[in-house]
């Protein structure tokens, strides 16, 4: 299987059928203090979060932390990535 890469889908390119997922995310965030979104590579996690943040705008009542940890090969590397900011 070929790995396809590219930018997250945003704005008018975001699939109308996916709006239900944005609404679900909003509802879950209002009822929980924290939410972790995980999934296979290229399944739309970043596009979902980007669309959610765009729709919420500057008045958002949520803070989003987006960590891209692809390529980390050990738990130690993962924790370093989460704690230490690259220069």
pTM over the 0.75 mark: no
Alpha helices in 35-87 (DSSP H): 45-56, 75-83
Say how many domains are in the chain. 1
Q: Is 24 contained in some domain?
A: yes
> Please, which pLDDT band fits residue 51 given cuts at 50, 70 and 90?
confident
Q: Is the pLDDT of residue 10 over 70?
A: no
Q: Is the pLDDT of residue 5 over 80?
A: no
> Please, which pLDDT band fits residue 35 given cuts at 50, 70 and 90?
confident
**Measured between alpha carbons, how far is residue 16 from residues 11, 13, 19, 68 in Å?**
10, 9, 6, 26
Q: Is 1 contained in some domain?
A: no
- For residues 74-78, give the mean pLDDT: 84
Q: Please report, rounded to a whole number, the percentage of residues in the chain having pLDDT higher than 70.
A: 75
Range of the domain at 50: 11-62
């Amino acid at each position: 299987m070929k790995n396809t890469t590219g930018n997250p889908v945003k704005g008018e390119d975001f699939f109308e059928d996916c709006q239900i997922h944005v609404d679900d995310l909003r509802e879950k965030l209002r009822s929980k203090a924290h939410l972790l979104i995980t999934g296979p590579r290229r399944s739309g996690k970043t596009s979902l979060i980007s669309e959610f943040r765009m729709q919420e705008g500057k008045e958002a009542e949520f803070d989003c932390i987006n960590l891209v940890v692809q390529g980390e090969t050990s738990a130690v590397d993962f924790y370093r990535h989460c704690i230490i900011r690259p220069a």
